[in-house]
Structure 1
Amino acid sequence: MTLRHDRTLQTTTTPIPGLVLVDLPVPGDGRGWFKENWQREKLLALGLPDLGPVQNNISFNDAAGTTRGIHAEPWDKYVSVATGRIFGAWVDLRHGPTFGAVFTAELDASQAILVPRGVGNSYQTLEPGTAYAYLVNDHWSPDAAYTFLNLADETAAIDWPIPLEEAEISAKDLAHPRLADVVPMRGRRTLVLGGDGQLGRALRAVLPDAEFTTRADLDLARPGSWPPRRWRDYAAIVNAAAYTAVDAAETPEGRRDAWAVNVTGVAELARVATANRITLVHVSSDYVFDGTVDEHREDEPASPLGVYGQTKAAGDAIVGTVPDHYVVRTSWVIGDGGNFVRTMASLAERGVDPAVVDDQVGRLTFATEIARAIAHLLAVRPAPGTYNVSNDGDPVSWADVARQVFAATGHDPARVTGTTTAAYFAGRAGIAPRPLRSTLDLARIRATGFEPQQQDAALVRYLTS
């Protein structure tokens, strides 16, 4: 077969999701030919993912009929032919609706194919002296999970040009299982840090297949103590862990702990995510601002007032260096366990009439709303960056929220009196400064198709659930 020299650079999709055939220009003359086998900028412009190759392998095959496969590996590979010609066969061995789907094609040096993680790859040489080349984006590891399918599987029913009984096949490949006995390869996982916190518990409902860790499993303050983990098996890390003791962070010990968890630990997460091409989702806070504007946009420069806010701002900046990241900035978080809303409900029930600050203004953010937004970002995959997330509605003060709690639980909201932040904390030492305006602009998260729920209705649901 004569090498095709008339192809233009283009891609063709296949019945297997993510398996993409690539036509490559191969200009030539009497001296031979030349091709750009992997040209990152051009291929990304055609819609291919950024492979990020770390290894280049070549398999030279002396005879026609050499047959190898079917091997599904836990990394992506970009397959091409340097010399000769192959018949390639690919079978989707991933868990999902296309499990068992088959695609075949003949390839010479003028074509390549992107084979995604979990798709079984195999080929048969059609000419002697065929050199088969492939780029991969992870190094081979004995700890990695592999999936195999028998070349003669009756369900896949691959029509090999050279009958398998006449082909050169290794004993190991001959022993691979039939499709009915193949355990499908699962997709890359999501790892959630802080799985026992209020946000971690909310995330369990929207990310049921994720792996959840606690501080005992993975302590952000002690990156050197993290147990070995095959990070390439993860597609996303959600950091729902943080040091959040705002006032304690103003003490010498608290300052050290806050920087250790919110900065040093986050820096290690950022390093891991960058090195392993993982999406890093990191939860931020309105405390990165000084609260001097009515509504905070994502691009507002950080201006933290206290140590907690300083550590969160530093962590945000570090996460921003990860190629694929989402900083989810929230305010006034309410979740499971002790919190302002539960405290006000308890005071109302016990007949206590509280004085509550009325010069701090913002919106509540229920942990379930943050979890819903994170799941949305991971599903939709908008542009990396920072996204404000809170419940929607008119900005209110903490005193307004307290009155709503009293009313919703059947008590007189007039029992709540307002006071200023300065008066409330007067005479108390070690109190961190609070931003007075914490309302977040929600336009950017809305533009991704996420519609924040109203805080008033969410508050009623929270109190009655």
Structure 2
Amino acid sequence: MTDLAVHTTDIPGLLLVDLPVHGDNRGWFKENWQRAKMTALGLPDFWPVQQNVSFNDEVGVTRGIHAEPWDKFVSVATGRVFGAWVDLREGESHGRVVTSEITPGRAVFVPRGVGNAYQTLEPATAYSYLVNDHWSPAARDQYTFVGLHDESLGIDWPVPLADAILSEADKSHPLLIESRLVPQPVTLMIGAGGQLGQALATTLPDVRALTRAECDLTDPASVAALDLSQVQAIVNAAAYTAVDAAESAEGRREAWAANVTGVAAIVARAREHGIPIVHVSSDYVFDGVATEHDEDEPFSPLGVYGQTKAAGDAIVASYERHYIVRTTWVVGEGKNFVATMAMLADKGISPTVVDDQFGRLTFTADLAEGIAHLLATRPAYGTYNLTNTGPARSWADIAADVFELRGRDRADVSPVSTAVYGEGKNMAPRPTHSALQLNKIVATGFTPASEEDRLRTYVAGLAARTVE
């Protein structure tokens, strides 16, 4: 009896799996699919939704080569087959071939876009496979086929095809050079117009970035119309973020529409297709009493914006295949606190800035890299805090740093309490402490850059735009 093991092959994502088979005088038993054990060894958590069994009476029954719009986990319940797989996806591995015998003790994981074929080596062979999408006539239109007879593939069929049992359809499929390429799966990113969205659009590989005009979370029809057929992950970087305006009657409705109702709609679409989702959250889900917040702290939002973000987080967390990325004080391309302070410094203005709210900046380059890291490495699903590193500081401290970097005196920034600053203004309540613990994201192998280094580089890069 072999140990459970997962082996890579020359085709990316195609994995051979050794299955322990326990036998005695009564027969044998095996765990054909064991999610916890197999995913721990590197098999994707592909969420099968349908099981199919193909029974084959004779030796030499040959089926394929078909690339289908889902992932498959293939095994046999009885008998043996010779399996052949051809990569039909776009990219450098297109046309690669892997072959192996499949027995009760050997299975294979076939990613979507890889053509799958087999030939029976024993009579009464029961060929079984799990898939992570339901078959439908529409799905059939997305198949890609290659002829079993294509000599360029170099497949050495145990039973010559002239003597094999084939369907008429399998006899007429095209050569590899004539077959349709299967497009690479994409990461769908919503919110491309925002600061984080701009960074994600240039950081995530194979990203389809949608602006609000292309996908509006507040419009159910817009979310329902999304084509998710080639989507491998969804990143939601869209949100209503006008913290003060959210306290108004109109702002409250808009915040709930985008941050709660819209999030529920996109999570429902993700769940429907079994697609992992990354959702960007905020420190505003906390009241800021604790000096530093970990991922397990209960929600305690102070204002409408925080309440909507907390409700959205709860909805996302109800779907098992999620990453909630909680962040603070975001700085990227566009209007933000650091850019504003640099502009004021250059214009000779001396601002008053609050000194009793504490946190860390998060530069969008690091936030985007962290999200890309989660999608590439796929650690345990859940919530991950992600900001730049360094000591928690006040807005006034950061403003003084910016002024100093622009050649102004730090003392030109006047500190003031939040209470005094907010007199006469319609300000939403804000958490006093926004710093987030980063141990969990660091444990996955990603350590964000220091806030000090990123601030220096960012402010230096503002020179040309600010002078203009």
TM value normalised by structure 1: 0.89
| Number of aligned residue pairs | 457
Instruction: Confirm or deny: 8 A CA contact 1:393 1:454 kept in the other structure.
Output: yes
- Contact persistence 1:95–1:184 (CA under 8 A): yes
Cross-structure match for 1:10: 4
Change (3 A) 1:85 1:338: closer
Aligned to 1:281: 278
Q: 2:451 aligns with which of 440, 455, 462?
A: 455
C-alpha contact 2:65 2:146 (8 A) present in aligned 1: yes
The 10-residue stretch of structure 1 (382-391 or 223-232) with the greater mean CA deviation from structure 2: 223-232
Q: Does 1:323 align with 2:320?
A: yes
Partner of 2:381: 384
CA distance in 1, matches of 2:314, 2:166: 53
After the TM superposition, which of the residue ranges 317-326 and 16-25 deviates more from structure 2? 16-25
CA–CA separation in structure 2 for the residues paired with 1:174 and 1:445: 52
2: CA distance between counterparts of 1:453 and 1:195? 23
Identify the range of structure 1 (118-127 vs 137-146) with the bigger mean alpha-carbon deviation: 137-146
1:4 aligned residue: none
Alpha-carbon distance in structure 2 between the residues aligned to 1:44 and 1:310: 35
Percent identity of paired positions between Structure 1 and Structure 2? 57
Partner of 1:231: helix, strand, or coil? coil
Alpha-carbon contact 1:240-1:283 (below 8 Å) kept: yes
Aligned to 1:20: 16
Displacement after TM superposition at 1:233 (Å):
2.8
Q: How does 1:303-318 map to 2 (within 5 A)?
A: 303-318=300-315
How big is each residue's C-alpha offset from its partner over 1:39-66, in whole Å with a ceiling of 9 and x where there is no partner?
5566556654444332233334444333
Pair 152,188 (structure 1): closer, same or farther in 2 beyond 3 Å = same
Give, in whole Å, the separation in 2 of the partners of 1:300 and 1:315: 16
The 3 A distance-change label for structure 1 pair 82 and 364 is: closer
Q: Out of 121, 141, 144, which is 1:147 matched to?
A: 144
Distance in 1 between residues matched to 2:108 and 2:16, nearest whole Å: 6
Change (3 A) 1:252 1:373: same
Going from structure 1 to structure 2, the CA distance change for 1:377 and 1:114 (only over 3 Å counts) comes to closer
Shift of 1:109: 5.1
Worse overlay, 223-232 or 281-290: 223-232
Residues in 2 aligned to 1:299 and 1:64: alpha-carbon distance in whole angstroms? 57
Matched, 1:438 2:434: yes
**TM-superposed deviation, 1:211:** 0.6
Unaligned runs of 5+ in 1: 1-6
Q: Which residue of 1 aligns with 2:114?
A: 119
Instruction: Give the corresponding residue for 1:74.
Output: 69
The answer to whether the Cα contact below 8 Å between 1:9 and 1:25 also exists between their aligned partners in 2 is no
**CA separation in 2, counterparts of 1:109 and 1:418?**
72
Match of 2:238 in 1: 241
Contact 2:322 2:382 in 1 (8 A): yes
> Quick one: structure 1 residues 336 and 154, their matched pair in 2 at CA, closer, same or farther if it must change by over 3 Å?
same
1:170 CA displacement: 3.1
Letter in 1 for 2:276: T
2:329 to 315, 328, 332: 332
User: 2: CA distance between counterparts of 1:72 and 1:148?
Assistant: 6
TM-score normalised according to structure 2 size: 0.89
Q: Which amino acid aligns with 2:318?
A: T
CA deviation after TM superposition for structure 1 residue 306, in Å: 0.5
Unaligned runs of 5+ in 2: 462-468
SS in 1 for 2:152: coil
- The question of whether the paired residues in 1 share the 8 Å contact of 2:3 and 2:18 is answered with yes
Query: What is the CA deviation profile of residues 271-324 of structure 1, one whole-angstrom value per residue up to 9, with x for unaligned ones?
Result: 222332222111111111111222222222221111101111111122122212
Q: CA deviation at 1:414?
A: 2.1
Residue in 2 aligned with 1:3?
Answer: none
Aligned counterpart in structure 2 of residue 136 of structure 1, from 126, 131, 150: 131
Contact 2:21–2:104 (CA under 8 A) maintained in structure 1: no
Once residues 440 and 390 of structure 1 are traced to their aligned partners in structure 2, the CA distance between those partners, rounded to angstroms, is 7
The match for 1:343 among 340, 343, 352 is 340
Alpha carbons of structure 1 residues 8 and 344: separation in structure 2 relative to 1, 3 Å: closer
What is the CA distance between 1:237 and its match in structure 2? 0.9
Conservation of the 8 A alpha-carbon contact between 1:357 and 1:421: yes
Contact between 2:16 and 2:106, CA under 8 Å: does it hold in 1? no
- State the match for 1:59 in structure 2: 54
After superposition, the C-alpha distances for 1:131-167 in whole angstroms (9 at most, x for unaligned) are: 4332222122425633322212233211112211222
1:86 aligns with 81
1:55-81 CA-to-partner distances (Å, cap 9, x unmatched) read 233334444333221111121223333
Query: Which residue is equivalent to 1:420?
Result: 417
Q: Secondary structure at the match of 1:220?
A: coil
Superposed, which structure 2 residues align to 1:227-266 within 5 Å? Answer: 227-266=224-263
Contact 1:354-1:417 at 8 Å conserved across structures:
yes
Partner of 2:465: none
**1:345-369 superposed Cα distances (whole Å, 9 cap, x missing partner):** 2222222221111111211111222
1:46 and 1:462 map into 2 onto residues whose CA distance is 41
Whichever residue aligns with residue 453 of structure 1, its letter is: A
